[in-house]
Chain A
Amino acid sequence: GESVGLHLPTLSVQEGDNSIINCAYSNSASDYFIWYKQESGKGPQFIIDIRSNMDKRQGQRVTVLLNKTVKHLSLQIAATQPGDSAVYFCAENGNYGQNFVFGPGTRLSVLP
Chain B
Amino acid sequence: SQTIHQWPATLVQPVGSPLSLECTVEGTSNPNLYWYRQAAGRGLQLLFYSVGIGQISSEVPQNLSASRPQDRQFILSSKKLLLSDSGFYLCAWSVGGTVLGYTIYFGEGSWLTVV
Contact = CB atoms under 8 A, between A and B. Distances in A.
Contacts, number: 49
Main SS of the interface on chain B? loop
Contacts of A44: 44, 90, 106
A105 B44 CA distance: 10
Interface string B64-99: 000000000000000000000000001000000001
B111 A98 contact: no
Contacts of B42: 8, 104
B41 interface: yes
Interface in A11-61: 32, 34, 36, 41-46, 49
A6 B101 CA distance: 21
B46 interface: yes
Contacts of A4: 43
Contacts of B105: 46
B100 A42 contact: no
B90 A103 contact: no
Given A99-B46, A102-B43, A104-B42, A49 B109 contact: no
A89 B46 contact: no
Contacts of B34: 99
Contact of A46 (B41, B100, B103): B103
Given A34-B103, A99-B49, A42 B43 contact: no
Interface string B32-53: 0010000001111010010000
B10 to A, nearest CB: 9
Interface of B: 34, 41-44, 46, 49, 59, 90, 99-101, 103-109, 111
Interface of A: 4-5, 8, 32, 34, 36, 41-46, 49, 89, 91, 93, 95-105
Given A97-B101, A101-B43, 5 more contacts: A4-B43, A43-B90, A45-B106, A93-B100, A97-B99
